[in-house]
Amino acid sequence: MFILEPNLHERVPGVFDESGMVKALLPWTEWKKMLELQKKEKVKCFVISHEPYPEEFYRGLEKGSLLIRYGVGYDAVPVELCRELGILVANTPGTLDQSVAEHAAALMLAAARHIVTLDREVKSGGWNPVMARELRGQTLALIGFGKIGRTLASIAKFGLGMRIVAFDINEGIRSSFPDLFDEFTTSFEEAVSDADFVSLHMNLNPHTRGFLNAERLEYFKSGSVLINTARGGVVNEQDLFSALKDGRLACAALDVTAAEPYVPLPGADLRTLSNVIMTPHVASNTGAANRRIAESCIENAKKYGQGKLSELTLIPELQDLV
């Protein structure tokens, strides 16, 4: 049995209801009620969203409780505190790769073909058939070559005929997926210096927060396009704003921002720039992906209830707790 946030239940109610494992539906703001229910009903499994639960919530959990992150990213979870308290944290790896990669490809196409601008112009009575880019033969640099990056590489390389440059700090990837890229590098500067499009696929952690700053943006080829479906926090938005306003970048297509809903920095509102495309963190929000995520959450909850802790999809940092 597990406690579930109502907004997550609404995405695929049938899947959760059919499992018969939902003990209660409580929004994250009612975390105190969650803790009360844990004590009263002995429920030690929680399916949570990306919301920033307060430290008191984690400290109130019983040792050995399981938090299942609905999705993949867990930057809002205080991992070290969970380790200290003996709290297990799982996520749902592999469930949203296709959906996020497709959205990144859609943003890339929208930027290359000026889809958003042209749509607005036609609807307002205009008719300005500006020249666009064909993607075949263009170079796409993938910053992070995990599952999502590799899925996008397959779409872009085999579907669109693009040249793929893969950047990752894991040198072992070079020999693991040679068919998916034309060039592999562990140098960020080398990856982006000749790229027409740069797509970010990095986790957000203390090492990557603000990674894409003014210094690294200088490495970009003039007129290139940035795509971000990873985490907004990996980009310094003030520096990105400057690069877009100055014309060093042709366009930025963003599904994620540092603050969500988006809150602009003073004097650097990305929404005011015509060369910015924004969507509200929806890359993974498809029916198919939500079903896979929900099923993975339920499977984790079942294994937890059966005491099969070694079979949980725990986040790497806490796998040694079982």
**Tokens coding 137:** 């033969």
Report whether 148 contacts 101 (CB < 8 A): yes
Active site residue 207: no
Active-site hit among 69, 150, 163, 231: 231
Active site residue 11: no
**pLDDT at position 184, please?**
98
Verdict on whether the full-model pTM lies above 0.85:
yes
Which position has the token pair 């991992």? 79
CA distance 216 to 121: 34
CA distance 73 to 76: 8
Active site residue 231: yes
**pLDDT at position 253, please?**
99
**pLDDT at position 317, please?**
97
Active-site hit among 69, 103, 150, 281: 281
Residue ranges in the chain modelled with pLDDT below 50: none
Report whether 217 contacts 191 (CB < 8 A): no
**Tokens coding 25:** 């539906």
Active-site hit among 260, 292, 295, 311: 260
**pLDDT at position 19, please?**
97
